[in-house]
Structure 1
Amino acid sequence: MTLPPRRKMVRPPTGGSEEGRGKPARLKTAKMRTPSSQAWLSRQINDPWAAKARAHGYRSRAAYKLTDIADRFGLLLPGQRVIDLGAAPGGWTQVALERGIHRIVGVDLLPVEPLPPAEILEMDFTDPACGDLLVERLGGPPDLVISDMAPNTVGHRRTDHLRIVGLIDAAVDFAESVLAPGGAFVAKAFQGGEISEVLTRLKRSFAQVRNVKPPASRPDSSETYIVATGFRGRP
């Protein structure tokens, strides 16, 4: 007797949207990737904030860090002038444009795909000519300076931290020299003793200074954000 052909049992898909997966996704191949690269890619694939950014069309998950800060502190108001330091890949600039900011100039060492009407300069922020050029292109003093800059690391914890603090100091110097009265400053920082010195310095020139950690910042990261509002001028 000839038996009928057996049917293949196919498990129905478990579903899941771009903003949430049912199970952690795995890399299909680890070929030509270092262990640290594999870990980073795996984390990105399974990161709900990264997935949410892709669904919304943001260029990076960092966009949600700025939206949280802006909502909490009343920043990014329509008509303001904004300077974006460390703009690549453009997520923070996207948020600013969404909120009615049409005069925004950014800078980064890396190239950034155009985001009109924003203007993004490809140059080193620490170049002495950069600060004046940013203000010139903006057409006047900024109401808000935002910085998501982070230096290239060398793997030595103390050295890397000092580089981070040095970059924050440079951003503070710039903000204090160009901000309009009542302006605000937002900058990425990392937990450490030297950050308290930066906060103390900012309290001399701003009415309110806070150190915050947005929900989109990974819990296991030492990353925080300095938010200074009510610029009073250099002491």
Structure 2
Amino acid sequence: MGSQWGKDKTYLKAKQSGYRSRAAMKLKEIIRRNPVIRPDDNILDLGAAPGSWLQVLRELTKGVIVGVDLNPITPMEGVITITGDFTDPAILARIRELMPEVNGIVCDASPKLSGQRSLDQARAIELNSQALNVARLVLKQGGNMIMKSFQGEDFSWLYNQIKLDFYSVRTYKAQTTRKGSTEMYIIAKNFIGNQPNPEEFSLDGSA
């Protein structure tokens, strides 16, 4: 990693600041430009490993912070971590036990990349769709969401789906995004609510 990122100013700044990855600097920039996390919000981080966003979130709010990832997350003070698939009903049940209410959701998750742009984008959109379905199940009415996605032929479909569930939706491309990347963040504010009964809802988006 040293040879790959040694001259990357964002990586070096993140490391010098004690963050686990350069992604921390992206979240700090996103929040500075889009202040959607309040000082007492309970935040759910989907795809949280290695935990740099959790570090930033702990600085932003005194609320409950829960991070979920398929890979184990090195423990940190003041943060609850869960190892598992966030689409698993058992994991969702655990989240509900830990969080009396969810005021915000962040998702910086990416699928395993194949190198084929169209395939990778399709996989990313599917992951985004699953995260959106989790939001529909656990996010409090009026809550906010930050989600990483990738531009491509299915991006407009995802964007329009999110617009059905939030009063305000916009895109944001971080200045720290690597050149040539199609990475794009979706900032969704003020969740409409009207959530379906969890017992009647499937995470594939069907009733």
Normalised to the residue count of structure 1, the TM-score between the two structures is 0.78
| Structure 2 residue 117 is the aligned partner of structure 1 residue 176 | no
1:96 to 42, 52, 57: 57
2:194 and 2:27 map into 1 onto residues whose CA distance is 25
| Structure 2 residue 115 is the aligned partner of structure 1 residue 155 | yes
Q: Which runs of 5+ in 2 are unaligned?
A: 196-207
| Structure 2 residue 31 is the aligned partner of structure 1 residue 59 | no
Q: Which residue of 1 aligns with 2:201?
A: none
1:74 and 1:158 map into 2 onto residues whose CA distance is 32
2:119 and 2:30 map into 1 onto residues whose CA distance is 29
Q: Which residue of 1 aligns with 2:126?
A: 166
1:88 and 1:78 map into 2 onto residues whose CA distance is 23
Secondary structure of 2:188's aligned partner: strand
2:45 and 2:62 map into 1 onto residues whose CA distance is 12
> Number of residues paired by the alignment?
195
Q: State the structure with more CA Rg.
A: 1
Secondary structure of 1:168's aligned partner: helix
1:204 and 1:50 map into 2 onto residues whose CA distance is 36
Deviation at 1:107, TM superposition (A): 0.6
**CA RMSD in angstroms, aligned pairs only:** 1.6
Equivalent positions of 1:130-149 (< 5 A) are 130-138=91-99, 140-149=100-109
| Structure 2 residue 207 is the aligned partner of structure 1 residue 231 | no
Quick one: higher RCO (CA 8 Å, sep 6+), 1 or 2?
Answer: 2
Identity of matched residues, %: 37
Q: Which residue of 2 aligns with 1:201?
A: 161
Deviation at 1:41, TM superposition (A): 4.9
Report the residue type matching 1:130 in the other structure.
I
Q: Which runs of 5+ in 1 are unaligned?
A: 1-39
Q: Which residue of 2 aligns with 1:84?
A: 45
Normalised to the residue count of structure 2, the TM-score between the two structures is 0.88
1:156 and 1:221 map into 2 onto residues whose CA distance is 13
